[in-house]
């Protein structure tokens, strides 16, 4: 009798549910909060930023770019931040710009805003005082490839690929070419840009677009190993070194040496510069201040 009673109640509930309009269900679902375009978390000096829109192939829409920029900029000057890792959810690291934002219906003003924002993100990655590592597992094309080329270090899986297919859609990848053309030999960059043919992870490594190729199961381990190694150094010294590297790479040989020589002297004047030398002489671990405090003028 108990089982019969339970069955009757279930039937009654089913009949009741059949009378509820479907509109109510859709209204309920519409209240669900959308997934954030990027996800940020930080632990032990390492900030991890995840591109979190796999359904749209992690396209760098204006909203995605603005979210990524905010995640990078937040507390960027904090001594607790030592390195940033950018990765992506799904089989595509990033497919580049959202083409729906680049139609005539959006207009020239919107197009300008998209590319201006993208430029700000790419230059921010190179100008921010901490190293930025791209952890790539999948396809990176157009502005997605530009994002990879803009990072300081790139670790990619063996099945990842990189390309600039804009030419096939009537849109030459001119802005990605700025970063890619500074990362790989000119003729390699031009072949990528003119044909749109993607290159493999091994070719990307050969030509200098990425730093390391690893099996997928070791991607996170290898990337975190680099990040943790960075965290062992003085933040102030790393920041000075990164900024100097970017500056001298844009200069001729003689100007680059003049710049680098001045910075070496500045580095020696830092408290952490002198601490590192003393620790080496005394055969002990250095105790970094991670600040730009000077030991002498």
CATH number of the domain residue 225 falls in: 3.90.226.10
Q: 239 and 116 in one domain? A: no
The answer to the question of residue 6 being in a domain is no
The answer to the question of residue 266 being in a domain is yes
As a three-state string, the secondary structure of 77-129 is CCCCCCEEEEEECCCEEECCCCHHHHCCCCCHHHHHHHHHHHHHHHHHHHHCC
pLDDT digits (tens, 9 = 90+) for 127-184: 999 999 999 999 999 999 999 999 999 999 999 999 999 999 999 999 999 999 999 9
Residue that has been written with the tokens 């269900």 in this structure: 25
pLDDT digits (tens, 9 = 90+) for 109-135: 999 999 999 999 999 999 999 999 999
Q: 157 and 129 in one domain? A: yes
- Rounded to whole angstroms, how far apart are CA atoms 93 and 160? 9
Q: 126 and 268 in one domain? A: no
Q: 226 and 103 in one domain? A: yes
Residue that has been written with the tokens 């381990």 in this structure: 221
Q: How confident is the model at residue 34 (pLDDT cuts 50, 70, 90)?
A: confident
- How many C-beta atoms surround the C-beta of residue 20 within 10 A? 9
Q: 199 and 255 in one domain? A: no
Q: 217 and 75 in one domain? A: yes
pLDDT score recorded for residue 252: 96
- Rounded to whole angstroms, how far apart are CA atoms 50 and 88? 5
The answer to the question of residue 182 being in a domain is yes
For the ranges 13-27, 32-46, 283-297, the lowest mean pLDDT is seen at 13-27
- Rounded to whole angstroms, how far apart are CA atoms 190 and 173? 10
Take residue 127 and report the two structure tokens written for it. 């100008």
Strand order across the 46-51 sheet: 38-43, 46-51, 83-88, 132-136, 153-157, 212-214
**Percent of the chain whose predicted confidence (pLDDT) is above 70:** 90
Which residues span the domain enclosing 156?
A: 38-231
pLDDT digits (tens, 9 = 90+) for 55-91: 999 999 999 999 999 999 999 999 999 999 999 999 9
The answer to the question of residue 296 being in a domain is no
Is 50 exceeded by the pLDDT of residue 188?
yes
Q: 261 and 117 in one domain? A: no
Is 80 exceeded by the pLDDT of residue 247?
yes
Q: 164 and 78 in one domain? A: yes
DSSP-H helix ranges across 196-234:
201-207, 219-231
The answer to the question of residue 16 being in a domain is no
Is 70 exceeded by the pLDDT of residue 221?
yes
- Residue closest to 160 by CA, chosen among 84, 220, 216, 96: 216
DSSP-H helix ranges across the chain:
2-18, 22-30, 62-73, 108-127, 143-150, 174-180, 186-195, 201-207, 219-231, 235-249, 253-269, 271-281
The answer to the question of residue 219 being in a domain is yes
Q: How confident is the model at residue 31 (pLDDT cuts 50, 70, 90)?
A: low
Q: 188 and 50 in one domain? A: yes
The answer to the question of residue 22 being in a domain is no
Q: 267 and 186 in one domain? A: no
Strands 83-88 and 132-136: parallel
Q: 274 and 161 in one domain? A: no
Q: Which of 231, 259, 290 is the last residue of a domain?
A: 231
Query: Number of structural domains, the chain?
Result: 2
Average pLDDT, the chain: 91
Is 60 exceeded by the pLDDT of residue 28?
no
Q: 270 and 225 in one domain? A: no
The answer to the question of residue 216 being in a domain is yes
- How many C-beta atoms surround the C-beta of residue 283 within 10 A? 6
């Amino acid at each position: 009798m108990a089982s019969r009673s339970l069955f009757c109640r279930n039937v009654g509930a089913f009949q009741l549910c059949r009378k509820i309009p479907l509109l109510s269900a859709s209204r309920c679902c519409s209240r669900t909060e959308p997934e954030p375009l990027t996800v940020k978390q930080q632990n032990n000096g390492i900030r991890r930023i995840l591109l979190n829109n796999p359904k749209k192939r992690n396209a760098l829409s204006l909203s995605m770019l603005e979210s990524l920029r905010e995640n990078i900029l937040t507390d960027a000057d904090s001594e607790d931040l030592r390195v940033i890792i950018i990765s992506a959810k799904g089989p595509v690291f990033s497919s580049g710009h959202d083409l729906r934002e680049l139609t005539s219906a959006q207009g020239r003003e919107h197009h300008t805003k998209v590319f201006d924002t993208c430029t700000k993100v790419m230059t921010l990655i190179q100008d921010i005082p901490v190293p930025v590592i791209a952890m790539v597992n999948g396809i990176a094309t157009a502005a997605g490839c530009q994002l990879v080329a803009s990072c300081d270090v790139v670790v990619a899986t063996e099945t990842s690929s990189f390309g600039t297919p804009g030419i096939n859609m009537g849109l030459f990848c001119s802005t990605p070419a700025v970063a890619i053309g500074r990362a790989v030999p000119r003729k390699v960059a031009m072949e990528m840009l003119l044909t749109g043919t993607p290159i493999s992870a091994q070719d990307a490594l050969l030509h200098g677009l990425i730093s390391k190729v690893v099996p997928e199961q070791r991607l996170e381990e290898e990337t975190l190993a680099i990040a943790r190694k960075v965290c062992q150094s003085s933040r102030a010294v790393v920041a000075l070194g990164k900024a100097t590297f970017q500056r001298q790479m844009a200069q001729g040989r003689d100007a680059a040496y003049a710049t680098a020589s001045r910075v070496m002297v500045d580095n020696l004047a830092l408290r952490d510069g002198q601490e590192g030398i003393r620790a080496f002489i005394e055969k002990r671990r250095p105790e970094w201040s991670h600040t730009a405090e000077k030991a002498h003028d």
